Amino acid sequence: MMSGNQSLCTKFTFVAFSSLAELQPVLFVVFLLIYLFTVGGNLIIISLISVTPSLHTPMYFFLANLSFLEMCYITSVVPQMLVHLLMETKTISVGGCAAQMYIFAILGLTECCLLAAMAYDRFVAICYPLRYTLLMSPGMCLKLAAASWTTGVVVESAQITRIFSLPFCGTGKIQHFFCDIMPVMKLACVDTSHNEIVMFAVSVIFIMTPCLLILCSYLRILVTILSIPSAAGRRKAFSTCSSHILVVSLFYGTALFTYLQPKTAHTPETDKATALMYTVVTPALNPVIYTLRNKEVKEAFQRVTERNPPRQMA
């Protein structure tokens, strides 16, 4: 027992969309369709890259990593949310909550690092085209991808372990639809100011550092593009970066708004709204951005569908 006759929580209850009880069947259908579209779209991208020799380049190697990550990212949250939309009681064990937070946080930080690696790839391709194959060799690509995944696993494993070493008590109600960091920390029975300072420091170092690397890369890319004499050359150079810029803007816009705010600035409504953006909307938009805005991917898709037309029904 805790002081003040409070017992430790063994499970949490999601408040989630309780105020929209009559709309939950509609939300179930909407989120299910978005989930299937996201997983299917990213699987198509990975498959196209694997079977198309012209896409066996550093840029598409990182895109395949990003697509795999996005599938895992949305799968760590949405299937459980779909189940809870059909259930009266929306509970999760403390261990299950920790597992979800581990996966979600690791994938989130890994994506920050992967986006920085992708920006570096574009920087080398545009600013040092003659040295591109040397600087972005297969070995270097593997090292950058491995460093991204390792950073995510090591940093977030330590942070989430620290969070779940806290005692949780009270009603155990999470004002959210999944085990996000700030809503769970609010249930701790003890002062969490030290944890918040550590989390803010980790966010600044490991979210802002990749962000700054991306900004520096694109500032240099911009200078190089503006120095290209022909308008057609400038458009071609910019077109290779536009998809990545859109994805970075979507991802970092919501991430910075969520994790660099002080605890007092968080409300259940804003937390849920921004979380829907980075857990559901952004992963769903990525396949659209990288197919509709990418000529090489569209051409690869057309070639594959032409070689394998759908069979006519007898």
pLDDT at 306: 75
pLDDT at 113: 94
Strands of the sheet with 91-93, listed across from one edge = 91-93, 11-14, 173-174
Q: Structure pTM?
A: 0.88
In this predicted structure, the answer to whether residue 308 has a pLDDT above a threshold of 70 is: no
- % of the chain surpassing 90 pLDDT: 47
Where does residue 165 rank: exposed (0-12), middle (13-18), buried (19+ CB within 10 A)? Answer: exposed
Domains, the chain, with CATH or none: 11-299 (1.20.1070.10)
pLDDT mean across residues, the chain: 86
Q: Which residue has the higher pLDDT, 39 or 277?
A: 39
Where does the pLDDT of residue 259 fall: very low under 50, low under 70, confident under 90, or very high at 90 and above? low
User: Rounded distance, CA 261 to CA 100, Å?
Assistant: 22
Sign of the dihedral defined by the CA atoms of residues 129, 130, 135, 139, in that order: positive
Residues 141-187: pLDDT tens digits? 999 999 999 999 999 999 999 999 999 987 889 888 999 888 898 89
Specify the 3-state DSSP secondary structure of 159. helix
pLDDT at 155: 93
Inter-axis angle of helices 94-127 and 138-163, to 10 degrees?
150
| 71-75, 143-147, 212-216, 301-305, range with the lowest pLDDT | 301-305
pLDDT at 313: 43
Where does the pLDDT of residue 232 fall: very low under 50, low under 70, confident under 90, or very high at 90 and above? confident
pLDDT at 6: 62
Query: Across residues 193-218, what is the average pLDDT?
Result: 87
Query: Across residues 27-39, what is the average pLDDT?
Result: 94
pLDDT at 157: 94
In this predicted structure, the answer to whether residue 261 has a pLDDT above a threshold of 70 is: no
Query: What's the Cα-to-Cα distance from 49 to each of 39, 65, 299, rounded to whole Å?
Result: 16, 11, 12
Residues 96-151: pLDDT tens digits? 999 999 999 999 999 999 999 999 999 999 999 999 999 999 999 999 999 999 99
Residue 197 half-sphere exposure toward CB, CA atoms < 13 A: 4
